[in-house]
């Protein structure tokens, strides 16, 4: 049974901290959920707390088995325990892979618009950030594969980050698209860094395929670093637990040694408990919450198209994030952010933060109670009416 009756205003979380100077402001931003973490996970954590000691623990056989079983059953990814490396977060895993599998000044291709930390992870590790703009076609993002082939050839890139489902666009890359990426990457000896943190937020009309799925074949598996976590689907972001999976023995050995040297596998005790519990007991809850999110998506998408046609939403095929095109208003990015706050008392993620291709867009998180989402839509309508009157 999902619980959408939560109040996060006073708990110092990132999303609601923006309301300190405006009690009327409604944030629909950071990619966690204003839906309660499942009760069965909270009860598992409480049982650990009841033992009165939060000392050192290690991942159990049951923990690894839970990951392996979930990935096989849900994503057709066949894994062995020794192919897994634990991490505090996907970002830590990406940084580890970039630092130890590429060289200083190597190019790292990132599809744009993109999750903002990608840029910093590349640049701060002294690699070249190779921005690869996605193309809009019929209101959705698509990949220009001829251009991708050319970019891989010209940039001397050594890796490409593939976010699937895509953040912020919400598109789910098809098996054909993923295989084309792999083919081009293989031809140019480019590693694929597959960030699939959102892939358990899946709707009835689309199921993400993993880059490490058995469907992709041995050649694809040989050049892929898979990064995953239960955090997005089960609302566990603060517990700092993720993992990467590698099938290529040479790449795996390099990353195992690096992880040992940097102690990246020393993850949060409660994160281990929560992740195992999510994968062992969470299937029914996840089906229910994804159904709720799908209804939220459909409501918001239809409301915008019918009531505020100047805001053009991209249809989210996955994730609980909706990418909104505000370009029809002719506002600068700063003006757009300011007017949404002033006129609608609404805080969204500015698209410009996701790269130059995000200019004129905003990202809305719809993982909230339906009444909150309805409020957000009404605030967007208030903004729309006020801007068009001026």
Q: Which of helix, strand or coil describes residue 94?
A: helix
Query: How is 271-287 classified by DSSP, letter by letter?
Result: HHHHHHHHHHH-HHHHH
- Residues 246-255: contacts with CB within 8 Å, 24+ apart? 246/83, 246/85, 247/83, 247/212, 247/221, 247/222, 248/221, 248/222, 248/223, 248/224, 251/101, 251/191, 251/225, 252/82, 252/83, 254/100, 254/101, 255/85, 255/96, 255/97, 255/100, 255/101, 255/225
Q: pLDDT tens digits, residue range 107-133?
A: 999 999 999 999 999 999 999 999 999
Mean predicted confidence (pLDDT) in 316-338: 97
Determine the Cα–Cα distance for residues 315 and 300; give it in Å rounded to an integer. 10
Residues facing residue 27 across a β-bridge: 347
Q: pLDDT tens digits, residue range 257-289?
A: 999 999 999 999 999 999 999 999 999 999 999
Is it true that 16-39+284-389 and 56-281 share their CATH fold? no
Mean predicted confidence (pLDDT) in 354-383: 97
Give the pLDDT band of residue 174 (cuts 50, 70, 90).
very high
Q: CA angle, corner 81, sides to 80 and 82, nearest 5?
A: 95
Mean predicted confidence (pLDDT) in 307-325: 98
State residue 328's pLDDT score.
97
Determine the Cα–Cα distance for residues 34 and 366; give it in Å rounded to an integer. 9
CATH of 16-39+284-389, one of 3.40.630.30, 3.10.330.10, 3.90.1150.10, 3.20.20.70: 3.90.1150.10
Q: CA angle, corner 376, sides to 374 and 380, nearest 5?
A: 115
Determine the Cα–Cα distance for residues 314 and 310; give it in Å rounded to an integer. 13
Determine the Cα–Cα distance for residues 324 and 170; give it in Å rounded to an integer. 11
* Token pair for 191: 């590693």
Residues facing residue 361 across a β-bridge: 325
Determine the Cα–Cα distance for residues 100 and 209; give it in Å rounded to an integer. 27
Mean predicted confidence (pLDDT) in 172-186: 96
Q: pLDDT tens digits, residue range 285-311?
A: 999 999 999 999 999 999 999 999 999
Mean predicted confidence (pLDDT) in 17-39: 88
For residue 31, give the nearest of 318, 358, 361, 340 by alpha carbon: 318
* 242 phi/psi in degrees, rounded to 5: -150, 180
pLDDT at 20 over 70: no
Q: What's the 3-state SS for 151-172?
A: HHHHHCEEEEEEECCCCCCCCC
CATH of domain 56-281: 3.40.640.10
Q: Residue ranges of the domains in the chain? A: 16-39+284-389, 56-281
* 32 phi/psi in degrees, rounded to 5: -125, 175
pLDDT at 381 over 90: yes
Mean pLDDT in the chain?
95
Q: How far is CA 280 from CA 37, 42, 65, 204, 275, in A?
A: 15, 14, 9, 22, 9
pLDDT above 90 covers what percent of the chain? 89
Mean predicted confidence (pLDDT) in 317-344: 97
State residue 19's pLDDT score.
65
State residue 146's pLDDT score.
97
State residue 91's pLDDT score.
97
Could you tell me where the DSSP H helices lie in 76-144? 90-101, 117-124
């Amino acid at each position: 049974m999902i619980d959408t009756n939560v109040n996060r205003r006073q708990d110092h979380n990132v999303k609601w901290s923006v309301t300190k100077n405006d009690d009327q402001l409604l944030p629909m931003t950071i990619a966690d959920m204003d839906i309660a973490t499942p009760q069965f996970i909270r009860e598992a954590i409480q049982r650990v707390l009841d033992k009165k000691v939060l000392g050192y623990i290690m991942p159990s056989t049951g923990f690894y088995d839970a990951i392996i079983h979930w990935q096989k059953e849900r994503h057709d990814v066949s894994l062995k325990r020794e192919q897994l490396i634990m991490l505090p977060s996907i970002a830590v895993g990406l940084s580890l892979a970039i630092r130890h599998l590429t060289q200083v000044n190597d190019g790292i291709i990132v599809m744009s618009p993109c999750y903002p930390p990608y840029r910093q992870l590349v640049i701060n590790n002294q690699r070249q950030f190779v921005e690869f703009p996605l193309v809009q076609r019929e209101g959705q993002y698509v990949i220009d594969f001829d251009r991708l082939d050319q970019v891989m050839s010209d940039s001397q890139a050594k890796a490409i980050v593939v976010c699937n489902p895509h953040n912020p666009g919400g598109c789910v890359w098809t098996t054909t698209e993923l295989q084309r990426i792999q083919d081009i990457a293989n031809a140019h000896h480019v590693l694929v860094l597959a960030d699939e943190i959102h892939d358990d937020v899946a709707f009835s009309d689309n199921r993400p395929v993993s880059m490490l799925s058995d469907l992709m074949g041995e050649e694809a598996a040989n050049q892929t670093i898979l990064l995953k976590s239960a955090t997005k689907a089960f609302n566990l972001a603060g517990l700092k637990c993720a993992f990467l999976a590698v099938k290529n023995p040479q790449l795996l050995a390099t990353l195992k040694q690096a992880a040992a040297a940097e102690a990246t596998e020393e993850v949060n005790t409660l994160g281990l408990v929560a992740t195992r519990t999510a994968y062992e007991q969470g299937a029914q809850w996840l089906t229910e919450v994804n159904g709720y999110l799908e209804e939220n998506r459909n409501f918001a998408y239809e409301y915008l198209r019918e009531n505020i046609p100047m805001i053009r939403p991209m249809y989210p095929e996955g994730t609980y994030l909706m990418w909104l095109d505000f370009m029809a208003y002719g506002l600068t990015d700063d003006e757009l952010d300011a007017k949404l706050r002033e006129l609608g008392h609404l805080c969204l993620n500015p698209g410009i933060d996701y790269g130059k291709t995000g200019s004129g867009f905003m990202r809305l998180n719809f993982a909230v109670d339906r009444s909150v989402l309805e409020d957000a839509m009404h605030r967007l309508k208030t903004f729309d009416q006020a801007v068009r009157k001026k």
